[in-house]
Amino acid sequence: MEGQRESIHGQWSSRLAFILAATGSAVGLGNIWKFPYIAGENGGGAFVLVYLVCIAVIGIPIMMAEVMIGRRGRQSPINTMRTLAAEEQAGRAWVMLGWAGVLAGFLILSYYSVIAGWALAYVFRTGSGLFTGLTADGVQSIFTSMVSDPERLLAWHTIFITMTMVVVARGVSGGIEKAVKFLMPALFVLLFVLVGYAWNSGSFQQGLEFLFQPDFNKLSANGVLIAMGHAFFTLSLGMGAIMVYGSYLPATTSIAKVSIAVSLMDTLVALLAGMAIFPIVFANGLEPGAGPGLIFQTLPIAFGHMDYGAFFGMLFFVLLVFAAWSSAISLIEPAVAWLVENKGLTRVTAAVVAGLVTWLFGLMTVFSFNLWSEFKPLSGFEVFRDSTVFDLLDYLTANIMLPLGGLLIAVFASWKMSRASSLDELGMGDRFFYPLWRFLVRYITPIAVILVFLYALRDIEAIQYILNAIGIT
């Protein structure tokens, strides 16, 4: 029976191992700069409260659904969906959900690796004191010089992909679990050290107010949608990573408890990152709303003008590398698992094949910042007029593939899987919590994800019309 199915890849040694691995998957570059920034710009503490509600209503129910599907199938996302669709008599087309998740993770890693390579490069640049005393123009010049050099970007991209392949090649217990047991505690230690450093910056109180002081006047309908969207995206849902990690989860482990734990740890990382970053930003009179530029262009200025800035700046970029590395491992794992299951490859060979293909696709992102910077494949469409290949990959995955993946996971788990199957796998009892989860994932969560999907595509004229019609601009 399904309950006796075992993964050929092994399983996590404990509940903690899964929590660390899933948190590692969820925590990424976006946690370090995006959440603190959008929280501060949309009402601080008011936004954080709405975000936590969205985590409870959207993030946790879909994470539970994805983990449940993964553990029920005990295979790669593709084979899991094929098996469960047959068992639940849901139709063969559902296997496409597995393929879409694997493809999304693969495409995301192809450009994520390039950006993570920037963080690797900055570990050495910051640690060497390169930014000490530099003006904004000087830091900008260093960043521009790096991204405009395809050979340099290619080298860092190659190093990062190799780091990822080495861990995944060693398997679930010998590679991924050992890596996250080091990476995640180290990430938290680095965060607390950096928060302590920010404490002495002179603007710690201003940073806390930016993040946590409730201002409901700043919390618009758009802000609520931003909170909903981030609650979904921050947990790595819809890309096969959580599903394949769920397939390694011991049968006796509570899916609800680990999903809640991962969500809380992911949020804690984002808040600690904000407490570390924004006091430093405000202490130096810099702009907190610089987006990705905050990491690679604004913060180096701050570190370059602070006591011991070279050392703590280096620690910050080590933190970024750890966050990116733990996410990258989860992004490539679904493809590796499928290659082992379907092509008879060894774990090492599968990791090398998946890594090389990802590396090749990453060249498109590398060249988007230099040799192909003027190449705009869809310039004939107004929305994509200025979009490079990298911009299009980011748009396709974040705005289309992931929301659709999350929506279909919710639909399959609550409408296609039988009540008996999901009740058996979740093991929550049939009195309160299971009916609540089923109601949320059947009705509330899909509506929320559809709104997130529409908001993400708001630049398209037809979508603008729909959003205006329901009072969202």
For 110-159, write each residue's pLDDT tens digit. 999 999 999 999 999 999 999 999 998 999 999 999 999 999 999 999 99
Q: What 3-state class would DSSP assign to 74?
A: coil
Confidence label for 2 from pLDDT (cuts 50, 70 and 90): very low
For the chain, what is the largest distance between any 2 Cα atoms, rounded to a whole number of angstroms? 66
- Please list, in sequence order, all residues whose beta carbon lies within 8 angstroms of the beta carbon of residue 231, skipping any fewer than 6 positions away: 51, 54, 55, 58, 59
pLDDT reported for residue 461: 67
Rounded to whole angstroms, how far apart are CA atoms 360 and 367? 11
The interaxial angle of helices 255-283 and 204-212, nearest 10 deg, is 130
* Residue 223 pLDDT level (bands cut at 50, 70, 90): confident
Q: What angle do CA 468, 406, 290 make, to 5 degrees?
A: 60
d(CA 43, CA 38): 9
Please compute Rg for the chain using Cα positions. Answer: 22
- Assess whether pLDDT exceeds 90 at residue 28: no
Tell me the C-alpha to C-alpha distance, in Å, between residue 163 and each of 16, 180, 181: 23, 13, 16
Task: Return the percentage of the chain with pLDDT > 70, whole number.
Answer: 96
Rounded distance, CA 19 to CA 30, Å?
19
Q: Residue 172 is encoded by which pair of tokens? A: 């679930």
Q: What is the pTM of this model?
A: 0.94
User: What is the identity of the amino acid at 467?
Assistant: L
Q: Predicted confidence band at 290 (pLDDT cuts at 50, 70, 90)? A: low
Q: How far apart are CA 392 and CA 377, in angstroms?
A: 9
Element at 372 (helix H, strand E): none
**Each residue's pLDDT tens digit, 400-447:** 999 999 999 999 999 999 999 999 999 988 889 999 999 999 999 999
pLDDT band at residue 191 under the 50/70/90 scheme: very high
- The answer on pLDDT for 3 being more than 70 is no
Residue 200 has φ and ψ, to the nearest 5°, of: -95, 10
Which position has the token pair 């050099």? 149
Fold for the domain defined by 2-469: Amino acid/polyamine transporter I (1.20.1740)
CA distances, 72 to each of 36, 358, 421 (Å): 36, 28, 9
- Closest by CA to 192, choosing from 116, 268, 123, 122, is 268
Return the beta strands (E) in 132-236 as ranges.
Answer: none
DSSP-based three-state secondary structure for 149: coil
Q: How far apart are CA 87 and CA 97, in angstroms?
A: 16
**Spatial contact of 281 and 115, defined as CB atoms under 8 Å apart:** no
